[in-house]
Amino acid sequence: MALLPILCYPDPRLHTVATPVQAIDARIRTLVADMLETMYDAEGIGLAATQVDVHERVITIDVSEKRDQPLVLINPEIVEASADKQVGDEGCLSVPGIYDGVERSRSIVVRAMDAEGNTRDIAAEGLLSVCIQHEMDHLQGKVFVEYLSPLKRNRIKTKMLKARRDTERV
């Protein structure tokens, strides 16, 4: 397993739309293992392959308290979403240190394959529902800050670019 570099907003590669996984083979299983290791190391609860510059429809999630219940979603699709919405603060490994309110469906049903190629439907609500929706946005080339006002988005972009310049100087 290996730690993968996480792209940071406003990196244009974060806006790449991911393509479906054609075959769940050793390469995809290695990607999944590396994504889980990267997600846990960064203390995140979700990671989309887009965030590690792999533009295929793969997501890893673990919202458990003990961080011992990894969930792998390959080629996920939302098959049902509640009309009932909620606004909650979201953060993102690609936008470190930034949190803001985003409106999401309160509950969803997602259909996806696991790392063994088994297709299953997962009913999710609460944090898991939000996390799945957030990570699926990444697969569509969308970062959560795009739900915010242009003013907030520009301030975040400026802050992220400044942080990158400061890091490069060190």
pLDDT of residue 139: 98
Count of positions (residues) in the chain: 170
Strand partners, 113: 74, 119
What is the Cβ-side half-sphere exposure of residue 160, based on CA atoms within 13 angstroms? 19
pLDDT of amino acid 169:
76
pLDDT at 1: 77
The pTM is what? 0.95
Binding residues: 92, 134, 138
Instruction: Give 109-127 pLDDT, tens digit per residue.
Output: 999 999 999 999 999 999 9
Residues annotated within a binding site for Fe cation: 92, 134, 138
What distance in Å separates the CA atoms of residue 164 and residue 23, rounded to the nearest whole number? Answer: 36
3 state SS of 43: coil
Count of alpha carbons within 13 angstroms of residue 97, beta-carbon side? 7
pLDDT of residue 166: 86
Q: Distance between CA atoms of 16 and 45, rounded to whole angstroms?
A: 22
> What integer pLDDT is reported at residue 156 of this predicted model?
96
Query: What is the predicted pLDDT for the residue at 71?
Result: 98
Tokens read off for 44: 């995140």
Mean pLDDT by 10 residues, the chain (170 residues): 95 98 97 98 98 98 96 98 96 96 97 97 97 98 97 95 83
Tens of pLDDT, residues 46-60 = 999 999 999 999 999
Catalytic one among 43, 77, 80, 135?
Answer: 135
Which bin fits 33, alpha (ψ -120 to 50), beta or left (φ > 0)? alpha
Instruction: In whole angstroms, give the CA distance from residue 8 to residue 51.
Output: 8
- According to the model, what pLDDT value does residue 170 have? 66
Peptide bond connecting 5 to the previous residue in cis, omega within 30 degrees of 0: no
Is residue 77 part of the annotated active site? The answer reads: no
CA distance 150 to 154: 6
